[in-house]
Amino acid sequence: MINYKEKLHKIRAFVFDFDGVMTDGSVWTYADKETVRCGNIKDGFAIQYAVKKGYIVALISGATSLSIDNRMAALGVTQCYTGCADKMQTYKGFLSSNGLTAEEVVCMGDDIPDYGIMTHCGVAACPADAATEIKEISDYVSLYGGGQGCVRDIIEQVMRLQGKWFDPSVSNHEAMNW
């Protein structure tokens, strides 16, 4: 069996679920039916940094919310697929439209709706608090839970391995919407 870190050399893209990956899974619902979620600033930094370094970052989520769209736009994620009833169909379209092979993609999900795409990617990753079924198929289980830094964890691993994470001679702290 190949160690997942060996697979990270080929990664060009990241696909994330939202609820339970970029958040802890909590959803606040207000009287106007808008839902609000809480994300992690370190995850946000890693996402926008990966985008700036040329990685393709996408969101594939069954949820729909203006707050999700706004968060992804602020981080520079232009491939934001929400309200996905069939994540696999969306994922296949994502691969095709970006000229990617499955081996070039990290998929991070936390629950059963993510199962299909996670079995068709280069590296399947999940938060520490993912569903058992997802942990069982994951190449990597983060030490961090959903919304607690698991997104940064996998992005940073890929970028460090590929020599793209941090260069102290270059300004990495411009004003950003993390």
* Count of domains forming the chain: 1
Residue at 88 is within a domain: yes
DSSP state of 98: T
Q: Is 46 within the bounds of a domain?
A: yes
pLDDT digits (tens, 9 = 90+) for 99-150: 999 999 999 999 999 999 999 999 999 999 999 999 999 999 999 999 999 9
93: which residues sit within 8 A by CB, 6+ positions away? none
Neighbour count for residue 124 (Cβ, 10 Å): 25
Is 45 within 8 Å of 152 (Cβ atoms)?
A: yes
Q: In this structure, is residue 112 part of a structural domain? A: yes
Question: Does 174 map to a domain?
Answer: no
Q: Is residue 24 part of a domain?
A: yes
- Strands 28-29 and 35-36, sheet pairing: antiparallel
> 175 falls in which pLDDT band (50, 70, 90)?
very low
**Could you tell me the residue range of the domain that residue 91 belongs to?**
4-161
CATH number at residue 112: 3.40.50.1000
171 within domain boundaries: no
